[in-house]
Structure 1
């Protein structure tokens, strides 16, 4: 069964960095988290953990630490996607991929709920960034921050994506 609304929502989702002074309703936060937990995960390990941040002081502290997170100074909500790096005492090598899928679900769900969002990377950013974020959050040693979903009612609009990026598709094998 084809669902064009889903396809249009995926294309409509854009990174928004300006937000209106309006809180996100708890019901919508709950739906964002439910959609995040519906993401696929290797061996169904579901390593994701979420820190919901609404408090202005905490949002501002994140904005101060993250070099690209200045929109957090005005955004009403941040969902920090974290992952457990161990599963039953052994390294979980797929925690980042699993958490990235949960992050994408948050961003798409936000679009579907009439919200705007942007993904702030944490793992491979400025040296020491993951440790700074984790210190702010007080995460346990086996839980690492993967990214931050900044969410709110957008104060800017962008046209939907259209088409396939030139040069990104290779048929059967890599070609120049």
Structure 2
């Protein structure tokens, strides 16, 4: 519960590199996500190249903070042709992204979910930067690194949004 209750969106990072074993842990967490019919529509680009990160940060007006990250993970959806439940692929992807965010928190890293899908212009921009194959759709950008400052999570619990029957 600590990772869930203490997770914050981090948009500013130190220059410290993220260790390979931590990157693997993040990706393992992503691939442990639930998936409709176990279709696992995900693949992940692990981007450390500064020029590519700069280009990714320009793909959305809300992605500028990615430029300061030493690492950007880009979850992408494979072609939906062979999926049992293609309409659920974005839900599967969301679960994978959340697992990355929680694992980052647990590892002492900071991360933030920057939406790409479903905005066509953003999807195409990321596709151009990463030279994605036909049928592969960019879903999000996840800048990851060591936070440059400590942030406290806010308690978002709101009992007025609970309806008991």
Q: TM-score range by the shorter chain?
A: over 0.9
**TM-score (norm. length: structure 2):** 0.93
The total of aligned residue pairs comes to: 165
1:32-111 mapped onto 2 (5 Å cutoff): 32-88=26-82, 92-111=86-105
Return the alpha-carbon distance in structure 2 between the equivalents of residues 108 and 69 of structure 1: 20
Structure 1: any 5+ residue segments left out of the alignment?
A: 1-6
Bigger helix fraction: 2
- Structure 1: how far apart are the matches of 2:4 and 2:140? 20
Secondary structure of 2:108's match? coil
| TM-score, with length taken from structure 1 | 0.87
Q: Which residue of 1 aligns with 2:110?
A: 116
Query: Do the aligned residues in 2 keep the contact of 1:51 with 1:79 (CA within 8 Å)?
Result: yes
When Rg is computed on C-alpha atoms for both structures, the one with the higher figure is: 1
Give the Cα–Cα distance (whole angstroms) in 1 for the partners of residues 34 and 85 of structure 2.
19
The aligned counterpart of 1:138 is 131
2:11 is aligned with 1:17: yes
Question: Which consecutive unaligned segments of at least 5 residues does structure 2 have?
Answer: none
SS at match of 1:149: strand
